[in-house]
Chains A and B, each alone.
Chain A
C-alpha cells in the first residue's frame, strides 16, 4: 500500500499543470471540479495508506529515482511513509480539500479564478513534497516551493501595492529562515556524510558526535523553522500575509505551511533532543512569541488580524511544548489546530463575504441571526480553541500544558496565561461579531446573507472535526479510568521521540481543573464587557493609555525593524553600490572585457585569408613542436 505514496503529490501536480498551462482558456466549470477533485483523490489514497499504517505502523521508504550524484553526495527522489508523514499528509489533503471546495464559492466572481486554483494546487504539491520527502534536500525543495506559493497567493491581488509588498515581506523574511535551513543541511552532510533522515538519525544513536556540532545543526534548522512558522524575531510577516484571499490564510497561514517548522522539529526530534541548549532556546522563543502575540491579539480590530496573531501565538505555544520535549503533543496540537483554525478563518471569510468585504469588527455585530451556520460553526471553533472539553483543542492543549508543567513551572504559568488570553480575545471576537446590534451602514446591512452551500458545507465538516478531533489523543489521566488508550502517542512512537515524563495522575487532574475554572472566569469576564456593557473598541483616533497604545501598535516592532535593520542596510547597500561596485568592481571588469576585445582584434589579424600564410604558419608551428619533441627524446 505504501508504495502508492507517489500518487498523493502526483494528482495536485497534474491538476496544477493542466490548469496553469491552459490558463484562462479552461472553463471555470472544469476548474471547479478538477482542482478540488485532484486533492480529494490524493486524500483517498492518503486514507488508504493511513489505514495500512494503523494496522502495521512502520517506516517505509519508497525510492523513485536518484536525482543527482556528486562524489559521495547523492540526492534521491524518494518518499518516506511513517506515522508522522502520513498524519501531516492527511491533514494537508483533508483540510486542503475542504478549503478548495470552500474556495470555489469564495472566489466565484474572481476574474483570475484559474490562476488562483493553479497556485493552490501547486502549494498542496509542494507541501506534500515537504512532508513526504525522505531527506533534507527534498524537504528543502518543498520548503522553498511552499514559500513561493505563499508569496504568489499573498500577492494574488498584486495590483494593490500594499498587498504586493506584504507578499514581498513574507518572502524575504522566509528567505532569512531558509538560509538557516540550508546551512543546517550542509552542516548535516558535513558531519554525518548523508542527508537522508534514516542514515543521519541512525548515526545519532551509534556514533559519538561532537555536542557542539549538534547544537549548531539544530539551531540552524530551528532558524529555518522560525522563519516558516513565524516566531520571534521573524513573525511580523504572518499578520501582513492576511492580504491574501481568506481561504489562503486558512490553508497556508494557519493549517499547513506555517506548521512546517513544527514538522521539521518533530521529524528531527532525535537530533533536537540531544541538545539541551537548543531545546531551551526553542522553548523560550516559543513562549515569548506566544505571549507577545497573544497580547497583541487582545486589541486588534481586524477580524483576520486577530486570527493571525492567534495563529502566531498557538504556534509559539507548540514550539514551547516541543522545547520541553513534548514532540507528539506538539504534533497533536498541530492537527487539532488545523481543524479549528481553518474553521475560524473560513468562518471569518464567510463573515467578510456577508459584510461585502469589510473586515473591521467594530462595524459588525448581530450576525448571529443572519448567518446561522457561520455563527454556530464559528462558535464551535471558538470553544475548541479555548480548550473546553470535550472539544478538540482541550485534549491537545491540555497535553501540552501538562508536559510543559512537568519541565518548567514558570513556563507553565506563562503558557496558562497565553491560553487564558486566547479565550478572552476569541470570545471578544465572537461577541463583537455575532452578538448585539449590527453596526454596519444600511447598504451593507441589507446585503448581509448566509454564504452559499459550497462554503457552509466545508464549515460544517470542519466543525464536526473540531468537536471530535481531539479523541485521537485522549489523555491518560481520564482515559485510565475509562480504559481509553492514548492512541496518537502510540501511533507516533516510532517516528517521533516519545516524551518520558511521568506525572502523578492527581496532579494532572488538578491542573485540568484549575485551567477549566480559569477559562470559565475569563469567558464570563468577556461576556460582561462585550455583551452586558456592550462596549465597543474605540476608533483609532481616540487617545489610549500608553501601555495599550504600545500593544495596539504591535509594540512598534515593524518600525523598530525598519529603523535598526532596513535603513542601515539600505545605507550600506548605497555605499557599496556607489563606491565599491561602480568605481571599483565595474571598472576592473570592464577593463578586462576591453582588453579581451583588444586581444581579439589583434589575433584576428592572423586570419589573413592568404593560403601561403596559412601553410607557412602551419608548417612553422609543426617544425617548432617537432623540434621540441626531438630535443626531448
Chain B
C-alpha cells in the first residue's frame, strides 16, 4: 500500500508543483521518492501484503517494483536534460510518474480489472510522451501510430478478459486458476481463446513479432529519452504483467489439451521475435533504430524465458530484465549525449569516440558487450540462465536458433564498438560531460559487471 501511495503521491505532487510554480522542487523529490520506494519494497520483502484483494505484494511483485524503481531512478538522472529542454516540465514529470503507477499495478495485480487498468495507466501517458517533441513531425507521427495501434491491442485485451470471464465466471486470478482444477464448470474453448487474445495484447506491448510493427517507428520518432523509457520501463511493465498471468493462470492449465497449442503459439512468437529483431537490426545504420530492433530481439529472449516456466523462472526473467535494462539505459545515455553534440544519430557519429571522450566510449562498450552477451557482464548470464532452462526442458533446436540469432547481435553491436575505437572521428571536438554524470555512468557500468560476477548474490538479495 505504501508503495502505491508513494508513487501516486509523487505524481500528484508534480502536478501541484506546476500550479504553485515550484518546478525546481520536483527533481529532488522524485529522486528521493524513488530511493524511498526501493527501500520500502526491500523492507516489505516476504510480507505478502494484499491490497483490498485486488493487488498482492508478493515477492515477485516487489522484485519487479524494485527493478523498475532502480531503472527509473537512473532514467530520471539520465533524462535531466529532457525535462529542462521543454517548456512545461512538470506535466512530463507527472506523466512519467503516473505511468510508473501503471507498472506497479501490472507487477502486483490479482484481479483482471487491475490488469487492464495497469496497461492503460501505463500506456496513455507514454502515448503523450512519445509525442512530446511537439515541433517535430516524426515525434507526432510516433505518438499517433502508437496510440492507434495501442487502441487495437487494448481491444484484444478486453475481449480476452471477457472471454476468460465467460469461461470461468471470475476475474480473480486465484479463482480462475482454481477452476482449472475442477472437472466441471469450465468452458475450455472460451478460456483458451481468451488467454491467447490476452497473449496477443501483451505481445503487442512487449513489441513481439508479428505485433512489433509499431516499435521501430515509434522508437525512432519519439525523443530519445522517451525511447529509452519505452524500451526499459514499459517493457518491464508488460513483462511483469504477463509473467503474473502466466505463472498464476496459464501454467495451472498445463494438464488441458489446449495448453500445448498455447505453448506452441507462444514459442513461435518468441522465436520469431528473436530472429526477426536481430536480423533486421543487422542492416540498420541509425543507432536509435538499431537499438529499437535489438530491444525487440531481447524481448524475444525474455518471452522464451517465461515460456520455460520452472522454479527458477522467477529469477531468470527478472535477472534478464535487470541486465538488459541497465545495459540499454547506458547505451541510450551515451547516444543522447553524443547525438546531441553532433545532431545526428547515425553510426558514424560514434567514429573515434574514444578520442573524444574515453568514459563515454567505455560506458557504451560495457553496455553493448553486455547486450551482446559477452561474459563476465550481466547480459551473458542473463542469456545463459534462460538457455539453461530451454535446454533443460529438451528444446535443443530452439536453444540453437536463439544462440545463432543472438550471434547476429554480436555483429551489429560490434559495428558500433569498432566505430568508436578503430575509426577516425569525423568531428574532433571533445565531448564534455559533468563529473556527476561521469560518476554515475561508471557506477552503472560497474553494477553491470558486478551482477555478472556475482549473480548468486543478486539472487540472495531479492529472492
Contact surface of A with B, Cβ cutoff 8 Å: 66, 68-69, 593, 596-597, 599-601, 603-604, 606-607, 609, 611, 613-615, 617-618, 621-622, 625-626, 628-630, 632-633
Contacts and interface: CB of A to CB of B under 8 A. Distances in A.
Instruction: From A66, A593, A596, name the one whose CB has the most chain B CB atoms within 10 angstroms.
Output: A596
Contacts of B276: 603
Given A600-B282, A607-B216, A621-B210, A633 B257 contact: yes
B148 A629 contact: no
Contacts of A618: 149, 152, 204, 210-211, 213
Given A596-B408, A600-B279, A622 B261 contact: no
Identify the 6 closest CB pairs spanning chains A and B, nearest first: A600-B283, A614-B213, A621-B210, A632-B261, A600-B282, A600-B279
B190 to A, nearest CB: 11
B262 interface: yes
B196 interface: yes
Instruction: From B216, B217, B279, B284, name the one whose CB has the most chain A CB atoms within 10 angstroms.
Output: B279
A629 B279 contact: no
A596 B211 contact: no
A462 B257 CA distance: 82
Contact of A625 (B204, B216, B265): B265
Nearest to B214: A614
Interface of B: 145, 148-149, 152, 156, 188-189, 192-193, 196, 200, 204, 210-211, 213-214, 216-217, 257-258, 261-262, 265, 268, 276, 279-284, 408, 411, 456
Contact of A604 (B188, B192, B211, B280): B280
A601 B284 CA distance: 9
Contacts of B279: 596, 599-600, 603
B280 A622 contact: no
* Secondary structure of the A contact surface, majority rule: helix
Instruction: From A66, A597, A625, A630, name the one whose CB has the most chain B CB atoms within 10 angstroms.
Output: A625
Contact of B217 (A69, A607, A615): A607
A78 to B, nearest CB: 16
Contacts of B281: 600
A633 B188 contact: yes
Contacts of A622: 156, 200
16 contacts: A68-B456, A597-B282, A599-B279, A600-B279, A604-B280, A604-B283, A611-B149, A614-B213, A621-B211, A625-B265, A626-B193, A629-B193, A629-B262, A632-B257, A633-B257, A633-B261
B265 A629 contact: yes
A85 B204 CA distance: 61
B408 A628 contact: no
Instruction: From A600, A621, A626, A630, name the one whose CB has the most chain B CB atoms within 10 angstroms.
Output: A600
A620 to B, nearest CB: 9
B281 to A, nearest CB: 8
A629 B192 contact: yes
Contact of B261 (A599, A614, A628): A628
A464 B189 CA distance: 92
Contact of A609 (B204, B217, B268): B217
Contacts of B284: 604
Given A617-B210, A618-B210, A629 B258 contact: yes
A345 B146 CA distance: 76
A597 B283 contact: yes
A632 B211 CA distance: 23
Contacts of A626: 193, 196
B289 to A, nearest CB: 9
Nearest to A625: B265
Contacts of A628: 261, 265
Given A609-B217, A611-B145, A622-B200, A603 B265 contact: no
A621 B257 CA distance: 22
Contacts of A613: 213
Contacts of B196: 625-626, 629
A632 B256 CA distance: 12
A625 B263 CA distance: 12
A609 B411 CA distance: 26
Contacts of B261: 628-629, 632-633
Given A600-B280, A618-B152, A632-B257, 10 more contacts: A600-B279, A607-B280, A611-B148, A613-B213, A618-B149, A622-B200, A625-B200, A625-B265, A626-B193, A632-B261
B229 to A, nearest CB: 22
Contacts of B152: 615, 618
Contacts of B189: 630, 633
A628 B264 CA distance: 10
